[in-house]
Chain A
Amino acid sequence: MKPLTVALAIVSLTSFSGRAAAADPTAPELLVKIDQALNAFKDAVFESKLVMKQPNGSIREYVFTTYQKFPSKRLVRFSAPGDVKGMGVLIESAETMYVFLPGFQRVRRMGTHIKNQSFMGSDFSFEDMAEIAYGTIYDAKLVGSDEKNWILELNAKAGQDLEFPKIKLWADKSMYQPTKLEYYDATGKNLKTQLRLDYAKDSPRHFQPGKVVIIDHRRNDHESQIVFTSTKIDSGLSDDIFSVRSLVRGQ
Chain B
Amino acid sequence: MGMLSRAAVRHPKRVLAAWAVILAVAAAGAGRLRQEDDLLAFLPSHDPDVRLFQEVSHRFGGLRVGLIGVETPVGQDLFTAAHLDRIRTATETIRNLDGVDRVLSLTTITDPVVEADGVDLRPLIPALPADERAAHALRDKVLSRQHVAGSLVSHDGRAAVIMAFFADGASDRTLTHAIRAAAEKTLAPLTIYYGGAPFYGRAVYEEAQRDIRWLSPLALLVLLLVVVLSFRDLVGVLLTVASVAASTLVVLGAMGFAKESYNAATSTLPVILFASGSSYAVHILGRYYLERARATSREAILRALAIAGPPVAIAGATTAVGFLSFVFTDVHPMRVFGLACGGGVLVCWLTSLTLVPSVLALWPRRAVTAPELRLVGAALAGLWHAAQRHRVWVLAIALVVGAAALRPMRRVAVRMEPRAFFRPGSEPARAGDFLDERFGGATFVQVALRGDFDDPATLREVDRLADYARSLPGVTQVQAITQPLVLIDEVMGGGRRLPVTRDQAANLFFFLDGEPGLRALITPDRRDALVHVRLKGEARPVVAALERFAAEELHHWPELPLPRDVAERLAWIASGAGHPAPPARIAKAIGPAHLPADDDPAWLERKAAIERSFREGDAALLPPEAQARQLAEARRDLAVRRLMPPLMSRLGIPDAEALRVSMLLDDLFLDGPRGFQARVELHADVAGEPVLSRGFSRSVAHNLDVSLGVSIAMVLGLLYLLFRSFKLSIICMFPSLLTLASIFAVMGLCDISIDLGTSLVAGIATGAGSDFAMHYLWYLRRQSADEVTRSVGPIMVVSVLLVACGFLVLAFGRSPVMQLLGTLAGLTMAISALLTCLLIPALRPVEE
Interface of A with B (CB < 8 Å)? 1-2, 52, 54-56, 58, 60, 78, 83-84, 87, 98-99, 101-114, 117-122, 185, 187, 189, 191, 217-220, 222, 244-245, 248-249
Task: Render B482-521 as a binary contact track against A, CB cut-off 8 A, 1 for contact.
Answer: 0000000001111000010111111111110111101100
Interface of B with A (CB < 8 Å)? 58-61, 92-93, 95-102, 108, 110, 115, 117-123, 126, 167-170, 454, 491-494, 499, 501-511, 513-516, 518-519, 523-525, 618, 621-623, 625-626, 629
Instruction: Please state if A107 and B618 are interface contacts (CB–CB under 8 Å).
Output: yes
User: Across chains A and B, which 3 residue pairs bring their CB atoms closest together, nearest first?
Assistant: A109-B118, A105-B626, A103-B503
B525 proximity list for chain A (CB < 8 A): 54, 58, 60
B505 proximity list for chain A (CB < 8 A): 103
Give complex CA distance A240, B60 in Å: 43
Instruction: Please state if A114 and B122 are interface contacts (CB–CB under 8 Å).
Output: yes
Pick from A1, A78, A105, A109: contact of B622, CB below 8 A.
A105
Instruction: Please state if A2 and B513 are interface contacts (CB–CB under 8 Å).
Output: yes
Measured CB to CB, the closest approach of chain B to A15, in angstroms, equals 26
A105 proximity list for chain B (CB < 8 A): 622-623, 625-626, 629
Measured CB to CB, the closest approach of chain A to B680, in angstroms, equals 15
Instruction: Please state if A83 and B626 are interface contacts (CB–CB under 8 Å).
Output: no
Task: Select from chain B the residue with minimum beta-carbon distance to A112.
Answer: B121
Given A55-B61, A114-B110, verify A103-B506 contact (CB < 8 Å): yes
Q: Report 13 cross-chain contacts, Cβ distance below 8 Å, ordered by A residue.
A: A83-B509, A98-B118, A99-B492, A106-B626, A110-B121, A118-B516, A120-B513, A121-B514, A121-B524, A218-B99, A218-B101, A220-B170, A245-B621
Pick from A1, A217, A249: contact of B121, CB below 8 A.
A1
Given A54-B524, A105-B623, verify A220-B169 contact (CB < 8 Å): yes
A107 proximity list for chain B (CB < 8 A): 618, 621
Of B126, B503, B509, B523, chain A has the most CB atoms within 10 Å of the CB of B503
Task: Select from chain B the residue with minimum beta-carbon distance to A60.
Answer: B524
Task: Select from chain B the residue with minimum beta-carbon distance to A220.
Answer: B167
A217 proximity list for chain B (CB < 8 A): 98
Task: Select from chain A the residue with minimum beta-carbon distance to B515.
Answer: A117
B60 proximity list for chain A (CB < 8 A): 55
Given A217-B98, A248-B621, verify A121-B122 contact (CB < 8 Å): no
Task: Select from chain A the residue with minimum beta-carbon distance to B617.
Answer: A244
Give complex CA distance A78, B509 in Å: 14
Give complex CA distance A78, B513 in Å: 14
Give complex CA distance A84, B117 in Å: 22
Instruction: Please state if A113 and B126 are interface contacts (CB–CB under 8 Å).
Output: yes
Pick from A83, A185, A218: contact of B510, CB below 8 A.
A83
Given A113-B126, A219-B167, A248-B621, verify A121-B513 contact (CB < 8 Å): yes
Instruction: Please state if B58 and A220 are interface contacts (CB–CB under 8 Å).
Output: no
Given A60-B524, A102-B503, verify A108-B117 contact (CB < 8 Å): yes
B507 proximity list for chain A (CB < 8 A): 83-84, 87, 101-104
A102 proximity list for chain B (CB < 8 A): 503, 507
Instruction: Please state if A114 and B123 are interface contacts (CB–CB under 8 Å).
Output: yes
Measured CB to CB, the closest approach of chain A to B106, in angstroms, equals 14
Task: Select from chain B the residue with minimum beta-carbon distance to A101.
Answer: B507
A187 proximity list for chain B (CB < 8 A): 96
A244 proximity list for chain B (CB < 8 A): 618, 621
A218 proximity list for chain B (CB < 8 A): 95-101, 167
Pick from A109, A120, A245: contact of B119, CB below 8 A.
A109
Measured CB to CB, the closest approach of chain A to B561, in angstroms, equals 21
Pick from B108, B118, B514: contact of A120, CB below 8 A.
B514
Instruction: Please state if B454 and A83 are interface contacts (CB–CB under 8 Å).
Output: yes
Measured CB to CB, the closest approach of chain B to A80, in angstroms, equals 12
Measured CB to CB, the closest approach of chain A to B117, in angstroms, equals 5
Give complex CA distance A65, B180 in Å: 45
Instruction: Please state if B514 and A119 are interface contacts (CB–CB under 8 Å).
Output: yes
Measured CB to CB, the closest approach of chain B to A54, in angstroms, equals 5
A87 proximity list for chain B (CB < 8 A): 507, 510
B508 proximity list for chain A (CB < 8 A): 103
Give complex CA distance A197, B150 in Å: 47
B95 proximity list for chain A (CB < 8 A): 218
Measured CB to CB, the closest approach of chain B to A35, in angstroms, equals 27
Task: Select from chain A the residue with minimum beta-carbon distance to B89.
Answer: A186
Of B99, B168, B510, B622, chain A has the most CB atoms within 10 Å of the CB of B510
Instruction: Please state if B492 and A113 are interface contacts (CB–CB under 8 Å).
Output: no
Instruction: Please state if A113 and B121 are interface contacts (CB–CB under 8 Å).
Output: yes
Instruction: Please state if A52 and B492 are interface contacts (CB–CB under 8 Å).
Output: no
Measured CB to CB, the closest approach of chain A to B518, in angstroms, equals 7
Of B93, B504, B506, chain A has the most CB atoms within 10 Å of the CB of B506
A1 proximity list for chain B (CB < 8 A): 121, 511
Give complex CA distance A112, B118 in Å: 11
Measured CB to CB, the closest approach of chain A to B674, in angstroms, equals 13
Task: Select from chain B the residue with minimum beta-carbon distance to A243.
Answer: B618
Task: Select from chain A the residue with minimum beta-carbon distance to B622.
Answer: A105
Measured CB to CB, the closest approach of chain B to A161, in angstroms, equals 10
Pick from A83, A110, A185: contact of B118, CB below 8 A.
A110
B519 proximity list for chain A (CB < 8 A): 121
Measured CB to CB, the closest approach of chain A to B371, in angstroms, equals 67
Instruction: Please state if B58 and A103 are interface contacts (CB–CB under 8 Å).
Output: no
Give complex CA distance A210, B509 in Å: 29
Measured CB to CB, the closest approach of chain A to B521, in angstroms, equals 12
Pick from A58, A84, A103, A119: contact of B501, CB below 8 A.
A103
A103 proximity list for chain B (CB < 8 A): 499, 501-508
Give complex CA distance A151, B61 in Å: 35
A98 proximity list for chain B (CB < 8 A): 118
Given A55-B61, A103-B506, verify A220-B123 contact (CB < 8 Å): no
4 additional contacts (CB under 8 A) given A103-B504, A111-B122, A119-B514? A60-B524, A110-B120, A218-B100, A220-B168
Instruction: Please state if A108 and B621 are interface contacts (CB–CB under 8 Å).
Output: no
Task: Select from chain A the residue with minimum beta-carbon distance to B168.
Answer: A55
B93 proximity list for chain A (CB < 8 A): 185
B524 proximity list for chain A (CB < 8 A): 52, 54, 60, 121
Task: Select from chain A the residue with minimum beta-carbon distance to B121.
Answer: A112
B623 proximity list for chain A (CB < 8 A): 105
Measured CB to CB, the closest approach of chain B to A157, in angstroms, equals 19
Instruction: Please state if A117 and B506 are interface contacts (CB–CB under 8 Å).
Output: no
Of A56, A112, A189, A217, chain B has the most CB atoms within 10 Å of the CB of A56
Pick from A106, A185, A249: contact of B96, CB below 8 A.
A185
Give complex CA distance A106, B625 in Å: 12
Give complex CA distance A109, B121 in Å: 11
B493 proximity list for chain A (CB < 8 A): 104, 106, 108
